[in-house]
Structure 1
């Protein structure tokens, strides 16, 4: 009986019985070595687990109140998104903007921001790996949820929606029309070019701008100060303090080209570099000696992480056309400085030099024309030089030609003359008139008998002779507005 009672006693009581010379109080007091071990264990327990998610993913805002930037869409209570959220009535829309400006973050935060968030369920798809079957499965489930007793509308967020083809985009039309889903699309490409018109008719397009450096700076400071999901989760241990200097924040915010994802990724790499400099390599045995240190991220860490300034450029997208338009218009306005700048932007973005050279050939005739007939040979020579040399050497050939064309006198007389003549051809009533007989060639006897070439005056033999070279209905028409045309 006594043995059974003893077996039920706590473990420390059985220890007392085996060591009668020590009191219970003495055995409960930890020894110096035990205190050290318990201190290490307690510190280890306080350390955050290193997250495999990138910092940019962990720092996504949970509600639209947490979103930094895009004030034109979110700051004003009468703005489109905020008024829809406050009314708990979400419409279908498309978020269009450069990478890293908050499209996905805003799309995911909208449902959480509604006071009656239980009215909606959020479903996310990416057009990178989703197909028609995935869309139909979501639509079928959305219809069943809506028709149930507790009616719940589905908010379908589709990232990179421009990657869907026409038949895939067509799947959204009837369910947006009948209200089965609330459609939110996110795209970096111009919706006018990459999305079908019926979808644009059903959704409002909201444009997101590149984030300002001040917005990027706020995002970086939030990430460095957040002890729950910020930089500490990238490190895997909790330093006494994380110091990210204003110089680092300014450098990253100025060199990420308005892309918050680029800035956050660079900050994360910088902090890991700083931790490695302290000797921490992720080993849990090192935690006890690192928890009391100050982790300082310096400007050299930031430069090493970013390597070079991030440039937002898409060789096949809207940026491609925007920059070539800026270059063309700067040369047309005879601003050589701006022309060189836009050329540098395109080259640093990775644009093909032969494409730029071809555009310069077009410009030489379209905008310089007869004001400087040497502009065309200059542009053609530039194209040949780019073909022979390639990058980076041909960048100087392009710069020389761009400056030449920007500083050259401008005339669109030839351009306007061709347009006027083309209009005359298209606007002619019935068929265009045939070539007058005296302007036709007569290689055969029959053609001579029919009057071909009859009455033609060979101009070199008689320069002062007057004859008409236009069809009768266009006699006296003037297409080219140029002094030489009056001679």
Structure 2
């Protein structure tokens, strides 16, 4: 039996008895106009509209589409809508469980369906990035000969995970994460629509806010939680899904945290101060509160990058690269896996030796500049790459450090006004102890004196 017959049977059961399907399936959009979010792809005349034949004489465009975006934002839904709008068979495979044999079987079935009764096929291949190069190669003949309309979904950057021949033959559509407004509209539709809960229960504001937080931008997760909570409320003969019922159903307490209010800044501040104080357990507690409350992981990652320079600096030169790598990983993978990366970075920063010497150094230097302590750049350091520079004395007498034993030339670098200023006062903590020895020797070699002794104290 061909895979599409299973799909057809499932759709037939759903039409006869809608309640037999999960709420997320029942609320699956039937047209592009019902799709939640992704408005940048749904404008009149957009490639997606043209793919389903809107605004033209019929379906047009490439026979392969790649949908790239985080989980739960509607990739499968868009593929389904395209198949319904173009009246094509819909066959779904997952690269996690399917191989070349299953793909070839679907392609052969599509060729028979087209030749036998003129029914074209949409092949939706989820998690295509899990296919090897050879497995992806097996799709090329079907795409080139238009035996199927391939719609492939991936959560990873397609330029790294999909072979160039397939990518060049495909329309790449980048899907954006769903906003709270998108999900709120979806929940209201599910509560009222006859395909959904048909007005059987209502969802008060506090429960909706909690549901949006635990959904984390995932429409499927939001509808699944709503369905479970609605069932629990109705079993207790309640017409309203209370916050308590929702908490009991999803087994997650509502975190008191307002992403636009005091809690947002208070908890973020506590996270950074716990890292600064090297209390790794407290830092993880505040990190967990932010994650559970649905905080944007990119916001957390930005705070960690700042902390790495502000509170650690050269005491552990690996701190900033760790925080930056975490931010890049978070941007690529999103929640829930991003929680692991944020935990990794938070622990590393909390347990790193601390130094605010870099922070104090630039603050002191900026303060002097604001006071007007700048002065002209020494003549031998000025640009000498233009006609007439030598006559002005620019770049004359400059000593090239690489020509000097030890690589340090005894010459003045700072303007006269700040010649003897010592902004950087390294600590003796961690790796910065090495820098403390180095800067002492370098200053001595440069003939620098302590001057008035002004400059920051790193403590």
Do the aligned partners of 2:125 and 2:152 also contact (CA within 8 Å) in 1? yes
Match of 1:230 in 2: 196
Deviation of 1:171 (Å): 0.5
Answering whether residue 53 of structure 2 is matched by residue 109 of structure 1, we say no
Query: Quick one: which of 247, 251, 272 aligns to 1:303?
Result: 247
- Aligned equivalents of 1:377 and 1:184: distance in 2? 42
Do the aligned partners of 1:245 and 1:297 also contact (CA within 8 Å) in 2? yes
Match of 2:40 in 1: 72
Deviation of 1:54 (Å): 1.9
Residue deviations 1:34-73, cap 9 Å, x none? xxxxxxxxxxxxxx96844321122111111111111111
- Aligned equivalents of 2:158 and 2:408: distance in 1? 39
- Aligned equivalents of 1:247 and 1:156: distance in 2? 41
> Secondary structure of the equivalent of 1:125?
strand
Answering whether residue 142 of structure 2 is matched by residue 183 of structure 1, we say no
Match of 1:424 in 2: none
The alpha-carbon distance between structure 1 residues 49 and 277, as it changes in their structure 2 partners (threshold 3 A), is: farther
- Aligned equivalents of 1:54 and 1:265: distance in 2? 8
Match of 1:197 in 2: 164
Answering whether residue 69 of structure 2 is matched by residue 97 of structure 1, we say yes
Query: Quick one: which of 256, 260, 264 aligns to 2:223?
Result: 264
Do the aligned partners of 2:408 and 2:442 also contact (CA within 8 Å) in 1? no
- Aligned equivalents of 2:97 and 2:346: distance in 1? 43
- Aligned equivalents of 2:404 and 2:205: distance in 1? 75
- Aligned equivalents of 1:251 and 1:176: distance in 2? 44
Do the aligned partners of 2:65 and 2:152 also contact (CA within 8 Å) in 1? yes
Residue deviations 1:412-437, cap 9 Å, x none? xxxxxxxxxxxxxxxxxxxxxxxxxx
Match of 1:245 in 2: 204
The alpha-carbon distance between structure 1 residues 54 and 306, as it changes in their structure 2 partners (threshold 3 A), is: same
Deviation of 1:300 (Å): 1.4
- Aligned equivalents of 1:259 and 1:170: distance in 2? 31
Match of 1:344 in 2: 287
Deviation of 1:345 (Å): 7.0
Do the aligned partners of 2:66 and 2:173 also contact (CA within 8 Å) in 1? yes
Deviation of 1:219 (Å): 0.9
Deviation of 1:395 (Å): 9.3
The alpha-carbon distance between structure 1 residues 399 and 180, as it changes in their structure 2 partners (threshold 3 A), is: same
- Aligned equivalents of 1:151 and 1:50: distance in 2? 29
- Aligned equivalents of 1:264 and 1:84: distance in 2? 28
Do the aligned partners of 1:257 and 1:309 also contact (CA within 8 Å) in 2? no
- Aligned equivalents of 2:288 and 2:165: distance in 1? 35
Match of 1:136 in 2: 104
- Aligned equivalents of 1:168 and 1:84: distance in 2? 26
The alpha-carbon distance between structure 1 residues 400 and 94, as it changes in their structure 2 partners (threshold 3 A), is: same
Do the aligned partners of 1:155 and 1:183 also contact (CA within 8 Å) in 2? yes
Deviation of 1:251 (Å): 2.7
Match of 1:220 in 2: 187
Deviation of 1:107 (Å): 0.8
Residue segments in structure 1 that go unaligned for 5+ positions in a row: 1-47, 233-239, 279-293, 311-329, 335-339, 350-359, 380-392, 412-469
Deviation of 1:397 (Å): 5.9
The alpha-carbon distance between structure 1 residues 218 and 372, as it changes in their structure 2 partners (threshold 3 A), is: closer
Normalised TM-score (structure 2): 0.54
The alpha-carbon distance between structure 1 residues 347 and 301, as it changes in their structure 2 partners (threshold 3 A), is: closer
- Aligned equivalents of 1:211 and 1:132: distance in 2? 33
Residue deviations 1:216-264, cap 9 Å, x none? 111111111122x3136xxxxxxx8422223332331243111111111
User: RMSD over aligned Cα, in angstroms?
Assistant: 4.6
Match of 1:209 in 2: 176
Match of 2:420 in 1: none
Answering whether residue 244 of structure 2 is matched by residue 274 of structure 1, we say no
Match of 1:164 in 2: 131
Task: State the number of aligned residues.
Answer: 300
The alpha-carbon distance between structure 1 residues 253 and 195, as it changes in their structure 2 partners (threshold 3 A), is: same
- Aligned equivalents of 1:73 and 1:378: distance in 2? 39
Match of 1:374 in 2: 315
Correspondence 1:26-105 to 2 at 5 A: 51-74=19-42, 76-85=43-52, 86=54, 87=56, 88-91=59-62, 92-105=64-77
Do the aligned partners of 1:247 and 1:299 also contact (CA within 8 Å) in 2? yes
Residue deviations 1:143-170, cap 9 Å, x none? 3444x38654322111222222222111
- Aligned equivalents of 2:121 and 2:31: distance in 1? 18
- Aligned equivalents of 1:143 and 1:49: distance in 2? 32
Do the aligned partners of 2:316 and 2:353 also contact (CA within 8 Å) in 1? no
Deviation of 1:302 (Å): 1.8
- Aligned equivalents of 2:360 and 2:140: distance in 1? 49
Normalised TM-score (structure 1): 0.51
